[in-house]
Amino acid sequence: MQFNENLNRLKTYEPGKDIELIAKEYGVKEVIKLASNENPLGTSQKAREAIIQNASKAYLYPDDSASELRNALALKFGLKMQNVIIGAGSDQIIELATHAKLNHQNAFLQCGVSFAMYEIYAKQVGAKAYKTRSITHDLNEFKSLYEMYKDEIKILYLCLPNNPLGECLNAFDVEEFLKDLDEDCLVVIDAAYNEFASFKDEKKHINPAKFIEKFPNLLYLGTFSKLYGLGGLRVGYGVANEDLIDALYKLRAPFNVNILALKAAVAALDDEEFVKSSLENNFSQMQKFEDFARFNAIEFIPSYTNFITYFFEEQNSSNLSEKLLKKGIIVRDLKSYGLNAMRITIGKPYENTRFFEEFEDILKKN
């Protein structure tokens, strides 16, 4: 059977490994998953209660307008409901944006290493990828490449903070950079981790209302999968001017987000205590990962997310990741990104302690 020739250019996205499969494969009783940037504190009590209260409605189609959640997000950001679109994860909105702007005659631009789905969706429609030489966000390189391929580039991605590396630009620098872009170029600010960055340093905070007012070609993405602990329900959102949201709605499948996800997301937004606890746990534990790296002479990029990336010179990241798997600890090997590195989600204190103990033992034996 023949398929769309664009599939020949694609690699399958590699998700984090499953806990039960690892436990069975390696015969490990307790598996710690530090690979997919999920919230180690789980799901907020308010969100769990909303799921239970609405479980009996699972036979019903959800509200296709997602009006309750869109209104809650609009209130949070000081916008109108018409400025918000809901997706089955923010990556679904990346897919919509791709189909709205890209085809085989044009291209997108991203930094050297960033979220894999930008390129996967683009290649599905035959679009070209331009990437900076720097693996992190270097706005001078972005500007140079944009000016060079201005007629081709129809989407420019800024992942703030960047996944899988963790670095983050200052909002002021982003704003200044965007002033020089053509209005026909769609700028996607992927802010899946921006709550973490804003908590650590408010200079990193991207204000969606301010940015979409200044830049009608800007799409801001957020998610409930990380900080809000709803990764298993798949719900994200996009914020933009009404014309851009209307265009994305033409591509959106009906009933694309399930009823439990919508209800849980509304409740999660309201649980400020859970959010505060999650952020405080994250950065208090992050310090331990930085200290561990310094003690063991491991290179890392200071992270504004809920993960940290370790880089290796003499050691092989795939080998190290495999040895951790055998001990029941799942991390994300970044060899598929062309990096000799691993990304580690910040877990609960006891999970992190076990990682440090097991990983130090592996490093010594190596």
User: Residue 288 belongs to a domain with what CATH number?
Assistant: 3.90.1150.10
Check whether residue 52 and residue 25 sit in a common domain.
no
Check whether residue 220 and residue 350 sit in a common domain.
no
Last residue of a domain, one of 236, 256, 271: 271
Please give the Cα distance from 228 to 101 (Å, whole number): 30
Give the tokens for residue 353.
């302690």
The DSSP result for 157-220, as a single string, is EEESS-TTT-----HHHHHHHHTTS-TTSEEEEE-TTHHHHHHH-GGG---HHHHHHH-TTEEE
Check whether residue 192 and residue 237 sit in a common domain.
yes
Structural domain span for residue 190: 45-271
Check whether residue 13 and residue 139 sit in a common domain.
no
Tell me what pLDDT residue 366 has. 75
Check whether residue 79 and residue 202 sit in a common domain.
yes
- Tell me if residue 310 falls in helix, strand or coil: strand
Q: How far is CA 121 from CA 176, 219, 222, 238, in A?
A: 28, 16, 18, 17
Tell me what pLDDT residue 17 has. 61
Give the tokens for residue 318.
């795939």
Last residue of a domain, one of 271, 306, 340: 271
Position 174: which residue type?
A: V
Total tally of structural domains belonging to the chain: 2
Among 275, 129, 110, residue whose Cα is nearest residue 198: 275
CATH code of the domain covering residue 220: 3.40.640.10
How do beta strands 341-345 and 107-110 pair?
unpaired
The whole-model pTM stands at 0.93
Check whether residue 26 and residue 99 sit in a common domain.
no
The ranges of the chain with pLDDT < 50 are none
Last residue of a domain, one of 247, 271, 295: 271
Check whether residue 246 and residue 327 sit in a common domain.
no
What secondary structure letter does DSSP report for 61? Answer: P
Check whether residue 18 and residue 31 sit in a common domain.
yes
Tell me what pLDDT residue 1 has. 67
Check whether residue 36 and residue 158 sit in a common domain.
no
Tell me what pLDDT residue 31 has. 84
The distance of Cα 58 from the centroid of its chain, to the nearest Å, equals 28
